[in-house]
Structure 1
Amino acid sequence: MELSGVGIWSQQLRYGDRGEAADAAAELEELGFSALWVPDVGGPVFDAVGRLLGATRRAVVATGILNLWMHEPADAAASYASLTAAHGDRFLMGIGVSHAPLIDAAEPGRYRRPLAAMTGFLDGLDAADPPVPAKQRVLAALGPKMLALAAERARGVHPYLVTPEHTRQARAVLGAGPLVLPEQTVILCSGADEARAIGTGWLRGYLSLPNYANNLLRLGFTQEELTSVSDRLFDALIAWGDEEAIKRRVDEHRAAGADHVCVQVLTADADTFPREQWRRLGAALR
């Protein structure tokens, strides 16, 4: 499996109309995007992965991320085996521990010892028959301990809601071999006011989750910046402007050590497939 260039991270490909998702996936592959990343916040994620694999011929399809609290390792391994048997080595299993407020909302107290939970899940993937090879999985790692675990037990990391500085730090922890595959949120727009109107509410939702907040504090942002969604924080996390502005941010991740960057496009209508924006970025980032 080759993972380079630029990919697309999209909740629409996961939860949008199935017919349009398949058509969009085929077009994204033709536009030159090397991987399609989809989230897992409930529902049959492996079915969605299979549909996207079936709609494409070359692109990698990756979970960004598989929520380990929602799956048993043996079941995940069986789904991996079925998908790779049908479509070849194009499924990358991104795995993450999600966030305490989301997991505990359904079952208070369930979310605990996330590093141990990840280690146990990886042990289960290794023990399955057949196992999920370490080279076919990456971890949603933000902090130093999870980054170190990824270096030992996976092919690399898929950090979400991060800056090029975090990419640099991840590369320093992982060294030269493992993959660093960050997500970068972008808004194609005419100016700061439009970007803030589209992105501030979306960003505020993520900043309420402790894992993201703590990571940003480690990166040097203040609690006041997180509470107010400061301009400095917004601009660091969301690349906005024209195609050249988006390309500059992608290039910053690459210069910091990223092997592949997956771009998530925000628009004013979160339910609509941003196909025109994908086309513009495909031409600019190819």
Structure 2
Amino acid sequence: MPLGRLGVWYPTDRLDGPQLRALLRTIEDSGYSALWYPESRGYESLALAGFLLQHSRGLMIGSSIANIYARDPYTARRGLLTLNGLYDNRFILGLGVSHIPMVEGLRGHRYDKPIPAMRAYLDGLAKDEPDSGSWPVVLAALGPKMLELSAARTRGAVPYNVTPAHTAQAAKILGPAKWLAVEQKVTLETDPAAARALGRKELARYMVLPNYRNSWLREGFTEADLANGGSDRFIDAMVLWGDADTVKAGLRRHIAAGATHVAVQPVHADGDIAARDRILKALADT
């Protein structure tokens, strides 16, 4: 099935079964083409994918990302093929190397160098499978080498916490035939102080992770931008805020830079499901 221009990214670990079903209804009724979800400390990625596919009608469901240290390549392969066989080819397997605390601290594995680890994983995923090149597999790629691997071995990339400038660089590396599905945080808060407070709270968990910090430094942000919760310049780049027209213009900058798909992540106060749904409905026609 085709991957449309606009999707949703949402931290599904916060939601129980009925809340997940309600989210799916909002996304589908608003006209988005896909839901992307992470794998962190809560739901297991492929089990969650089965639930989301079962309770949606036509959405593409994408892992963003499934941690390569959470299951061996053969298991990931069987999960990918099983889900697509049972649910009309609506599952996209997004893979990533995760982060040292999530791999060594939480799972007790050794965190290997990202590029060799991902290359070996893709080798195992595709072993003795001549049709693997057509499978809907994408990589969580930030740096140029992982983007090059995405272009060479998969359907594309799913960058996270990036700007349109990064999107332009990624599009150049991937080429026009690949998917470039970019996540973008948004809020419809028009008060600068309130919007930036939401942004700083949302980004705090990422700002301690070297993979993201290194990516932001490559993009031209400075250590000063990343200190003390993030400068206004940094927060404004990471979380689009303002009225709907302002936020839509920011989303379109990713499209203009070469993104084939933008996954909107609504940022809101904890538990404010009404705000989440207002954001999604307001931006669906971007």
The amino acid across from 1:143 in the alignment is G
Does residue 100 of structure 1 match 2:100? Answer: yes
User: What is the SS of the residue equivalent to 1:62?
Assistant: strand
Identify which of 266, 276, 279 aligns with 1:277. Answer: 279
Answer yes or no: is the 8 Å Cα contact 1:138–1:155 preserved in 2.
yes
What RMSD over aligned residues (CA atoms) do the two structures have, in Å?
A: 1.9
User: What is the SS of the residue equivalent to 2:4?
Assistant: coil
Could you say which structure has the higher helix fraction?
1
Within 5 A, what are the aligned runs for 1:1-286?
A: 1-12=1-12, 14-42=13-41, 43-106=43-106, 110-127=110-127, 133-228=133-228, 229-269=230-270, 272=273, 274-282=276-284, 284-285=285-286
User: What is the SS of the residue equivalent to 1:182?
Assistant: strand
- Specify whether residues 215 and 52 from structure 1 end up closer, same or farther in structure 2 by C-alpha distance, changes over 3 A only: same
CA-to-aligned-CA distance 1:139-176 (integer Å, 9 cap, x gap): 00000110000000000000000000000000111122
User: What is the SS of the residue equivalent to 2:24?
Assistant: helix
Q: How many residues align?
A: 283
Structure 1 residue 243: deviation in Å? 1.0
Q: Which runs of 5+ in 1 are unaligned?
A: none
Output the CA distance in 2 between the equivalents of 1:271 and 1:146.
36
User: What is the SS of the residue equivalent to 2:7?
Assistant: strand
Output the CA distance in 2 between the equivalents of 1:149 and 1:36.
24
For normalisation by structure 1, the TM-score amounts to 0.93
Deviates more, 1:188-197 or 1:102-111: 102-111
CA-to-aligned-CA distance 1:176-223 (integer Å, 9 cap, x gap): 211111100011112111112212122122111111100111111111
CA-to-aligned-CA distance 1:223-252 (integer Å, 9 cap, x gap): 111113011111111101111121111100
Output the CA distance in 2 between the equivalents of 1:15 and 1:140.
22
Structure 1 residue 56: deviation in Å? 1.7
User: What is the SS of the residue equivalent to 2:225?
Assistant: helix
For normalisation by structure 2, the TM-score amounts to 0.93
Structure 1 residue 138: deviation in Å? 0.5
Structure 1 residue 275: deviation in Å? 2.1
- Specify whether residues 107 and 80 from structure 1 end up closer, same or farther in structure 2 by C-alpha distance, changes over 3 A only: closer
- Specify whether residues 276 and 130 from structure 1 end up closer, same or farther in structure 2 by C-alpha distance, changes over 3 A only: farther
Quick one: percent identity of the two aligned structures? 38
Output the CA distance in 1 between the equivalents of 2:109 and 2:45.
25
Deviates more, 1:18-27 or 1:171-180: 18-27
